[in-house]
Structure 1
């Protein structure tokens, strides 16, 4: 079974990764980019080809399908989800997946940019994968294993279960969402359309990772309107919006509250985009913390800094708008840990040592859990996501697929 999984997983990930499916936060459409349909439509075709039932592409750009139950008794319906979009943080056009077979532990130099090198010194997890088949991009793009590895795992699991009808399992729902990377993967109608009692996202990292605690997240937009005038006659008149934007960034804590200075359970305030002119500027922030109180404090601090800079220059106009994104799934899962416990049991039965770190990010499962469908996140093996050094072990994907099959069996016990 595992050998067959490996070949299919590799072939699927390579095929999916070649498709450019980057999301666009500035777009108001759903999905945010039309090119996400290239993969969504392909998945519809492939689901039909492997014999899935109730294959649907929704109006909001999610693909849904069903693997019918093989047990007669009533058991919970579970779902497996992955997202088709890739992050807008780095180039996703022209991805050339490369398979490095039987990795020998030496540096992996990516050919299209030889400055991009994977080494076991810098990436200790890579050292644990000697002998595995490693997939990377070529050096000038991300790979897109986040989350096309998750898609490949779910599709390979589905293909296996649809062929091997003797494997006991209840009704299984499959779901592939758009726009997860920009926080818009879970449409308000998705919980109703999914029709699942519990779910799992395949969007995690190292072998054995079972996540049931994520960041809570808000987004903040700061808009600054200055006073514009010809710079030759600007003395005493010009109010430069870019200067005010820089003051806001400089006034925020730099040493204790940015992504590059925090880890573990520490939250942060992250400015990730600044645009504008001397006349008007806009700052975009993400606010993250594991606890609601910490997240609220980050928002209040940002608003206080904006108010302070506003007070220094009353001729300007500064507004700070905070928009909720998602909340720590732990708040809901801690009331019903069965989806987590079965995931841990599935790993253990397969000889995989599970672990559950709090993840410094979020998934579609964060929103789904909040909306009533408990959805922990499972490992895929993906590493160094959102950049040119992204890589994944095919053998980690094999283990993830086996965990999904085992989960289907464990849930069939009712």
Structure 2
């Protein structure tokens, strides 16, 4: 609920949360209704939500002990045969009344919710589709009114993450929406980008990316710019900055813009590679590693090494230091990074040969032992397959040597005795 502390007291909020968790929706509505009747839009919207969840809960009485997945199948089956549903959806009219009261006060979530109910197209929600087919559904669907509500919700500038699934997909992906409405949606997204809205930037990027990834398909909306122009759009830079900041703070982001930079760089786009390397050298992480991969493929080992170091990509650094790629060979650093990467094959090999560390056949044997039973799969690279085969040979060889050494020790002890 938006601005919860301004809607109800903390004590009442806690009571409502407990009642909702316990599926005691009648008690929750009794507590909240006085506040909603005083004209609070947040409370009015939540009243609609409580009534909706109450109807769903009562309809699920026969599958109450089922898992969420099994309940989803239950609703999916009913959506195909709604005549089999015997549930009581008599609270539907009350739910709509509360949504409409909140819509009068421009409540963004209520606007979207009401739009979904007025949309005649089959709902993405199996539950809503079942309710729409029931005798309790009293609304007269109006697609044009639903469209006007969606646009109103977008223009209100509410909770952007909420619009991700509820508005943009409904408007841009639907073949039933006129082109002029889609154009207006994109204009609204562009305006939001100018205000620093990352969600809007992500939507614009996804529109463009869908055409780039699937050029053989007709795009659901066509932003007519090529990959070089994309790199200079304000929304692409806004999204890049957001993803880079998330990576710097170890926070989650889909990294869609960064991945695209990597793909463009692999395909020879020098500007994309320069951008990716610049970001990677500042924040490290995946960006630096992806740039390093491109430079390594080009055999520009010095730049690759710099990127891998910035990204702390230990899985590549050991081999590069051992082979002297982009630097002078350094066995101690190679051994260090192999250990960081938990690369048992190369750790064992260096123990066996005394490279970068003191020679120790027993430790080498222990390293090989950890991977000797690993199966070889078809999808493994040739390098991985060869390492497993080599580890098996080394394991058998060291096993024999160590047993012979053990016998020699026993014989020496016996002779001294």
Compare CA radii of gyration and give the structure with the larger one. Answer: 2
Greater helix fraction, Structure 1 or Structure 2: 2
Is the pair's TM-score, using the shorter chain for normalization, greater than 0.5? Answer: no
Give the alignment's TM-score, normalised by structure 2: 0.23
Give the structure, 1 or 2, with the largest relative contact order (CA under 8 Å, sep 6 or more). 1
Give the alignment's TM-score, normalised by structure 1: 0.23
Greater strand fraction, Structure 1 or Structure 2: 1
